[in-house]
Amino acid sequence: MPTPTFPVLKNTTYLNTAYVGPMSQELFDFRREEEEKYLQLGNKYKVQAYSALDETHNVLADFFGLSADHCFIVSNFSSGIRYIMPFLPKKSKALYINEDYPSLLDSFLSQGIITKGIPLTETIEQDLDNELSKTHYDLLILSIVQYTSGILIDSEFLKQIKNHYPNLIIIADGTQFLGAHSFQFNESPFDIVVASGYKWLLAGFGNGVLMVSEVFLSKFNVTSSKLKEIIFQGHFNILAVSSLKFAVEQLRSNNFNNLMLKKKRLSNYAREALQEINYLDKRVKKRKEHSSIYLLNGTSSLYQHLVNSNISCVQRGTGVRVSFHYFNTTEEVDILCSALRSF
C-alpha cells in the first residue's frame, strides 16, 4: 500500500490522535468503494462480509501476535470489555489505578466486583507490586497507556508481577497503546487486552479488538468458540470491521516497526522540548520510558490559546493533552512550544 495521506494535517497542527485518529485519504477511498459494493450487491454484500470475517481475524491475529481463535473484532473498547465480565466470579477482587479510564473501571464496578484503587505515581509499577504483596487480588485491571497523563506501564515489570503471582489475571485497556507501540500478545503479561480502533490504529469509528489468553479461557471454563458466538450474535458493522482490517494492513505494509521508531524519536524530542520550557508532568520527568501523550499543566485558558493557535488538542484531567503519532513532525513540536512560550 502507498504511504497514507491525512488531509486534516493540512488544516491544523494535529496533536490529538489520543482523542481521535485522523482518517487517511486511502481509508476514505476504501470505505467509499465498500459502500458502492453494498449499493450494488445488497444481500450478497452481507454474505461476502461473513465469509471474510475469518480472514479479518487472521490479519489482526498476525499483526498482534496471537492465534486467530483468541482474537475477536468488537465494536469498541467499552462493549468489548463487557463481553468478558459474565465469566468473572462475583467474589473476585480487583486492583486498579485511580486515574484510569472510567469505562474500564465502571465495567467492573457495575458487576459488583470488589475493587481497590491506588494513586498514579512515577513509581506505579512498584506501587502495584507492593499492594499485591500485602493483599490477595484476583485481577489487575489497567490501561497500558494511561489516557490522561500518557504514562506507559512497563510491560516487562508486569511480567515480573505475573511470575510472582501466577494466578493473577491481568486485564488491560489497549486503546491508547495498540497502533502506537509494537506489541505481541503472546509475549506479553496480559490475559485480556481490549481496544478501540479509532485512535492510534487510525481505523475510523465502530471497531475494536479483543484478545484473550488461553490461561483466561481455561481458568474461567470458556471456549473461544463460545466467546465468538456471544460476540457475533446478530449482525456486525461490516464497514467498520473492514476498515480495521484495511488500517492494520496499511500500517503493516508501511513497515509498522519503522513507523514506531520514528514516533519514538519524535516523542523523545517533544519530551525534551516540553521539559525545557517547564511544561512536562513531574511524574513523566522521573520515568525512563513514556508514550507520546503529554499532559500540559494549564487551565481552559491555555486550551483556548492553543486552539486559537490552530493546534488540535483536548482538555483532560487537570490540564491540556497533546499527542504525537508517526505522521507528526519536529516542526509541529516547535509550533506547540512556541505557542506555549507565548501564553
Residues 180-222 have pLDDT tens digits of 999 999 999 999 999 999 999 999 999 999 999 999 999 999 9
* Residue 2 covered by a domain: no
Please enumerate in sequence order all residues whose Cβ is within 8 A of that of 262, keeping only pairs 6 or more positions apart, or say none: 326
Mean pLDDT value of segment 294-316: 96
The CATH number of whichever domain residue 80 belongs to comes to: 3.40.640.10
Given 212, 237, 253, which residue is the final one in a domain?
A: 253
The predicted-structure confidence for 61-98, as pLDDT tens digits, reads as follows 999 999 999 999 999 999 999 999 999 998 899 999 99
What's the number of domains the chain is made of? 2
Res. 1 pLDDT band, cuts 50 70 90:
confident
What stretch of H or E contains 173?
A: strand 169-173
* 262 lies in the same domain as 217: no
Mean pLDDT value of segment 254-267: 98
The CATH number of whichever domain residue 318 belongs to comes to: 3.90.1150.10
End-to-end CA distance of the chain: 42
> What string of H, E and C letters represents the secondary structure of 71-113?
EEEECCHHHHHHHHHHHCCCCCEEEEECCCCHHHHHHHHCCCC
* 314 lies in the same domain as 243: no
Contact 121, 127 (CB under 8 A): yes
Residue 242 has a CB neighbour count (10 Å cut-off) of: 22
Res. 279 pLDDT band, cuts 50 70 90:
very high
Res. 132 pLDDT band, cuts 50 70 90:
very high
* 168 lies in the same domain as 279: no
* Residue 1 covered by a domain: no
Given 231, 253, 275, which residue is the final one in a domain?
A: 253
* 127 lies in the same domain as 53: yes
Model's pTM, two decimal places? 0.96
* Residue 3 covered by a domain: no
* 109 lies in the same domain as 185: yes
* 93 lies in the same domain as 228: yes
d(CA 185, CA 50): 25
User: What is the 8-class DSSP label of residue 10?
Assistant: G
Work out the mean pLDDT of the chain and round it to a whole number.
96
* Residue 110 covered by a domain: yes
* 226 lies in the same domain as 297: no
Instruction: For residue 318, give its domain range.
Output: 8-23+255-341
Mean pLDDT value of segment 306-333: 97
Res. 306 pLDDT band, cuts 50 70 90:
very high
